[in-house]
């Protein structure tokens, strides 16, 4: 197998040949006329002229090639006490039949289908069924507020909406159907029908003429074959938050998406066909699209669809139970998940009750993985723990330590090296490259590789304005960081989290990295807030580990000393406050922007993705105790 350096050089020398070779491992009903079509740059198109079908490559090809009896999907739901497995042959049957439901309701190639569902097998089946007939799915995180769901319905203009009676959040039932009904009342674009899956012991009220019972429709459905689509046709729309309050619909194609994900499964994640791969995320987020549904199935892996939480379902040992029970080889989750596990079980006592020897590696992404969390996981799991960096827009990792190409030396705090296909550079405000080791804006030179966003749904100009206008010739990631003399990429924070303290540009992420090393702190966030003297100053918020015995004043003094030692007095770090938890999105990202507005006394809108709105009131009270006027 090629080493990373060889693979990188192959891509550099011949990008189109590199991706053509990767594409040869997939099934195409018509070959491409050209690997990269740049005639309408910056709207690049990969594998122009080719035809294929993503569902066929995920499911049917494995049946046709003799892998039909291998497990394709394992549904593990500790919140319902259910474990269910589907072979590739069984999954093919389920997907073909549900594709028949979609066709019977008038859906066809190019139509949009909004999917508003929990983490159940039917959600993945619905996604694959859309891909099977060429319909464009748009998954909205289950339980999203009605107003936010309405915005996405208005933008996508779906022919159908697929939903379920309810979802389960740890010990709480979230009724989806009333939220869906409210969203459709608010939406000015009404779908023709809603297909509703009634979960066990639930009977959501259906609207006559509009709503259709999932199982009844399935009972009379005619299975559908895969429909060839252009490689450049959209596979899905996935909405991400926009600065204007209007969500941005990231468009992913069929052909480039397949090529990138399959290449990444073997070369980045080191996953071999037939092995069990688990991404503990949600299909409402890009991780769920790329590495619960499409990536593993394209590569012939068994994928785990997990309906639960890292703690509370039933305890902080549930991840270890799933790994042992299903013999997971590669595991991928967010750093937040490990921080909450570390908080609940700091000594790893629950891990000692399970045999996780089957595990080859742990991958972390979604936010910065602080060295303390990485080292805690390394010490307890005794496997490589790999931080990697990617975004909803890119769809797959742009920087990683590529397990499948041979691991490189670890540098804690770094996402390691750029992945072949991604020419990552660090730019100043004038779009000029900065020297190695200097912090700036992380940007990716165009064209982006296969698998990245093509545009924004029905808004090419917003695509340009949002991602391409700031640095001509580059995609702006909106992340700040640096690349060291060895080519290692360090993602320090979002660009708007870079503080200007008395003329010094400082990263909140760098301070968080130091604070997280304190033995009593489970997780933390640093905010750059307005100061009448220095422009901005940092304030730290910390969540203590379970059982930590330290007073807030003592903790603050120790952390201030750590920052002063590791970063220096120019950081002007003086204040740390202890909170019970940090407000996060449902995907685990800390809502730093909202916290900063609270600290600055600015108006803010309650984020649609927040997991617990009540915590904001607690933190507002805590921040009120900080007197910035008296800061030296």
Residue where a domain stops, chosen among 438, 464, 481: 481
Q: What is the pLDDT of residue 116?
A: 97
| Maximum Cα interatomic distance, the chain, rounded to a whole number of Å | 73
- Work out the angle at residue 342's Cα, subtended by the Cα atoms of residues 339 and 347, and round it to the nearest 5 degrees: 165
Handedness of CA 395, 283, 587, 373 (dihedral sign): negative
Residues 495, 492: Cα–Cα separation, whole Å:
9
Same structural domain, 476 and 522: no
Q: What is the pLDDT of residue 492?
A: 83
Residues 147, 184: Cα–Cα separation, whole Å:
9
Could you tell me the residue range of the domain that residue 594 belongs to? 514-630
- When divided into structural domains, the chain yields a total of 2
H/E run at residue 16: helix 15-23
User: In this structure, is residue 280 part of a structural domain?
Assistant: yes
Same structural domain, 269 and 392: yes
Same structural domain, 472 and 522: no
The structure's pTM equals 0.85
Residues 361, 256: Cα–Cα separation, whole Å:
26
What is the distance, to the nearest Å, from the Cα of residue 159 to the centroid of all Cα atoms in its chain?
Answer: 26
180 Cβ contact list (under 8 Å, min separation 6): 116, 146, 149, 161, 163, 194
Residue where a domain stops, chosen among 460, 481, 502: 481
Residues 604, 619: Cα–Cα separation, whole Å:
14
Residue where a domain stops, chosen among 440, 464, 481: 481
User: In this structure, is residue 204 part of a structural domain?
Assistant: yes
Same structural domain, 220 and 262: yes
User: In this structure, is residue 493 part of a structural domain?
Assistant: no
Same structural domain, 288 and 431: yes
Using alpha carbons, select from 540, 525, 527, 531 the residue that is nearest to residue 497.
527
* CATH classification of the domain holding 80: 3.40.50.12780
User: In this structure, is residue 14 part of a structural domain?
Assistant: yes
Same structural domain, 599 and 463: no
Same structural domain, 58 and 194: yes
Same structural domain, 173 and 99: yes
Residues 408, 398: Cα–Cα separation, whole Å:
16
Same structural domain, 86 and 178: yes
pLDDT averaged per 10 residues in sequence order, the chain, 632 residues: 88 98 98 97 97 98 98 97 98 98 98 97 98 98 85 96 93 90 95 96 92 96 98 96 74 98 98 98 94 98 97 96 98 91 93 98 89 93 96 96 96 96 95 94 98 97 96 95 96 73 67 89 88 78 91 93 80 88 77 82 74 78 67 40
User: In this structure, is residue 573 part of a structural domain?
Assistant: yes
User: In this structure, is residue 326 part of a structural domain?
Assistant: no
User: In this structure, is residue 95 part of a structural domain?
Assistant: yes
Same structural domain, 14 and 160: yes
User: In this structure, is residue 489 part of a structural domain?
Assistant: no
Same structural domain, 240 and 155: yes
Q: How many CB atoms lie within 10 A of CB 355?
A: 11
Q: What is the pLDDT of residue 203?
A: 84
* CATH classification of the domain holding 591: 3.30.300.30
Same structural domain, 272 and 399: yes
């Amino acid at each position: 197998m090629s080493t990373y350096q060889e693979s990188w050089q192959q891509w550099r020398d011949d990008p189109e040949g590199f991706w053509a070779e990767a594409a040869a491992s997939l099934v195409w009903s018509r070959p491409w006329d050209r690997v990269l079509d740049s005639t309408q740059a910056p709207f690049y198109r990969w594998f122009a002229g080719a035809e294929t079908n993503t569902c066929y490559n995920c499911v049917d090809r494995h049946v046709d090639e003799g892998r039909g009896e291998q497990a394709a999907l394992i549904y593990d739901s500790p919140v319902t006490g259910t474990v269910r497995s589907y072979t590739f042959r069984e999954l093919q049957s389920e997907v073909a039949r549900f594709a028949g439901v979609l066709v019977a309701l008038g859906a066809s190639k190019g139509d949009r289908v909004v999917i508003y569902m929990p983490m159940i097998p039917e959600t993945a089946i619905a996604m694959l069924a859309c891909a099977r007939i060429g319909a464009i799915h748009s998954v909205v995180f289950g339980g999203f507020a009605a107003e936010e769901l309405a915005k996405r319905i208005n933008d996508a203009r779906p022919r159908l909406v697929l939903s379920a009676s309810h979802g389960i959040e740890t010990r709480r039932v979230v009724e989806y159907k009333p939220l869906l009904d409210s969203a459709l009342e608010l939406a000015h674009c009404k779908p023709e029908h809603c297909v509703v899956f009634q979960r066990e012991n639930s009977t959501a009220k259906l609207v006559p003429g509009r709503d259709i019972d999932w199982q009844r429709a399935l009972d009379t459905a005619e299975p559908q074959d895969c429909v060839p689509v252009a490689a450049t046709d959209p596979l899905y729309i996935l909405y991400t938050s926009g600065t204007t309050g209007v969500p941005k619909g990231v468009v992913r194609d069929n052909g480039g998406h397949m090529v990138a994900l399959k290449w990444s499964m073997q070369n980045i994640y080191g996953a071999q066909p037939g092995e069990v791969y688990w991404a503990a995320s949600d299909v409402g987020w890009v991780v769920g699209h790329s590495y619960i549904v499409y990536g593993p199935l394209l590569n012939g892996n068994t994928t785990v669809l997990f309906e639960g939480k890292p703690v509370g379902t039933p305890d902080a040992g549930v991840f270890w139970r799933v790994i042992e029970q299903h013999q997971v080889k590669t595991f991928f989750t967010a750093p937040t998940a490990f921080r909450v596990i570390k908080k609940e079980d700091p000594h790893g006592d629950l891990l000692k009750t399970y045999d996780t020897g089957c595990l080859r590696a742990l991958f972390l992404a979604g936010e910065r993985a602080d060295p303390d969390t990485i080292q805690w996981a390394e010490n307890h799991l005794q496997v490589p723990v790999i931080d990697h960096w990617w975004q909803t827009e890119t769809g797959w990792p742009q920087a990683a330590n590529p397990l499948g190409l041979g691991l490189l030396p670890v540098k804690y705090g770094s996402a390691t090296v750029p992945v072949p296909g991604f020419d990552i550079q660090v730019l100043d405000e004038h779009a000029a490259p900065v020297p190695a080791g200097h912090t700036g804006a992380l940007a990716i030179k165009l064209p982006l590789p296969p698998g990245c966003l093509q545009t924004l749904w029905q808004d090419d100009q917003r695509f340009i304005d949002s991602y391409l206008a700031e640095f001509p010739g580059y995609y702006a990631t909106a992340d700040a960081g640096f690349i060291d003399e060895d080519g290692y990429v360090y993602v320090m924070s979002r660009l708007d989290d870079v503080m200007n303290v008395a003329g010094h540009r400082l990263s909140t992420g760098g301070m968080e990295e130091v604070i997280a090393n304190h033995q009593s702190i489970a997780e933390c966030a640093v905010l750059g807030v307005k100061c009448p003297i220095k422009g901005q100053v940092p304030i730290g918020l910390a969540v203590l580990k379970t059982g930590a015995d330290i007073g807030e004043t003592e903790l603050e003094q120790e952390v201030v000393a750590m920052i002063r030692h590791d970063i220096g007095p120019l950081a002007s770090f003086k204040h740390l406050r202890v909170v019970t938890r940090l407000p996060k999105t449902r995907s685990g990202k800390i809502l730093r922007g909202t916290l900063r507005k609270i600290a600055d006394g600015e108006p803010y809108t309650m984020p649609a993705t927040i997991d617990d709105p009540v915590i904001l009131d607690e933190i507002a009270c805590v921040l009120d105790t900080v007197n910035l006027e008296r800061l030296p």
